[in-house]
Amino acid sequence: MAVSVIRHDGQTETVQTNVAATTTQAQVAFGLSNFLGSNVVVNVTGIGTNTWQTSATVNNTPVSVLLDGAGNVAVACRPGPTTLQSTVVLLSHNLQQVSLQHALANGLAGQTFDAINCFHRKITGTGGDTGWIRFNNDGSTVSGNDADALQPIPSDALTRVQVDDMLSPAGLTLPVENTVDRAQIYELVIDGQRMFFILYHASEGGGTQQHVMLLIPR
């Protein structure tokens, strides 16, 4: 199968993977990747149980990987210091980019997403970000950084117009934070059930610091 690999600066590449799986374990071996390196292997154990675990290596060096619950998308942290720029996102080839209008009409409204990057607590284990974002019925958003996703930060809320700008090719410019934020919504349909994922890029400090996050539904 083919996987799209997306780097912090928005560059993409397609990597072929070989998958070996049983009912309880899977191993994914990636082909040569300019972004990830060679000899990338991801192991998933305990499939179908509450104790499933993911481990990964690049050239036999352990790296951090976080899969969504069904294994359709992943965030990988390259070896070395944990930085926003070290985040790489892996997207299943089955995902289709969709519009906000389509997503709102098919279940996006009211969903809370975890904003996953290499600083996220789910990857680092302790400390780190616990960022989240939730879409309202009208397409506006609220967001925050509390683990329970119950305390929105008023200044971080986006209106529907701002969300439309964020989803546009030009992106949303936020002068106060000195950022340009861009995002795309992806949909996966399996047996009639829909899942949405959001790929999010931010360019801060006049473009001097760029990072990518993947918004995974809770």
For position 41, which CATH number holds? 2.40.128
Query: Can you give the pLDDT at residue 78?
Result: 79
Residue 111 CA to residue 41 CA, distance in Å, equals: 32
Q: What total of structural domains would you count in the chain?
A: 2
Both 112 and 197 in one domain: the answer is yes
97, 88 Cβ separation under 8 angstroms: no
Both 101 and 87 in one domain: the answer is no
Which is more confidently placed, 20 or 50? 20
Which is more confidently placed, 134 or 48? 134
Both 118 and 28 in one domain: the answer is no
**CB neighbourhood size of 213 (10 A):** 27
The H-assigned helical ranges of 143-193 are 160-166
Both 140 and 185 in one domain: the answer is yes
DSSP secondary structure code for residue 156 in this structure = G
Both 112 and 184 in one domain: the answer is yes
Both 88 and 123 in one domain: the answer is no
Domain boundary at 39, 70, 92, which? 92
Per-residue tokens: 181 = 């934020």
Query: Can you give the pLDDT at residue 184?
Result: 95
Arithmetic mean of pLDDT, 190-206:
87
Residue 180 CA to residue 165 CA, distance in Å, equals: 10
End-to-end Cα distance, the chain: 26
Arithmetic mean of pLDDT, 91-100:
90
* Global confidence as pTM: 0.86
Q: Which domain holds residue 86?
A: 2-92
Per-residue tokens: 8 = 């912090």
Domain boundary at 73, 92, 111, which? 92
Residue 63 CA to residue 117 CA, distance in Å, equals: 13
Both 100 and 83 in one domain: the answer is no
Taking the CA atoms of 172, 211, 152 and 91 in sequence, report the sign of the dihedral they define. Answer: positive
Taking the CA atoms of 131, 93, 57 and 45 in sequence, report the sign of the dihedral they define. Answer: positive
Both 64 and 107 in one domain: the answer is no
One-letter amino acid at 141 equals T
Residue 150 CA to residue 33 CA, distance in Å, equals: 39
Both 59 and 129 in one domain: the answer is no
Residue 66 has pLDDT above 80, yes or no: yes
Residue 71 has pLDDT above 80, yes or no: no
Both 11 and 114 in one domain: the answer is no
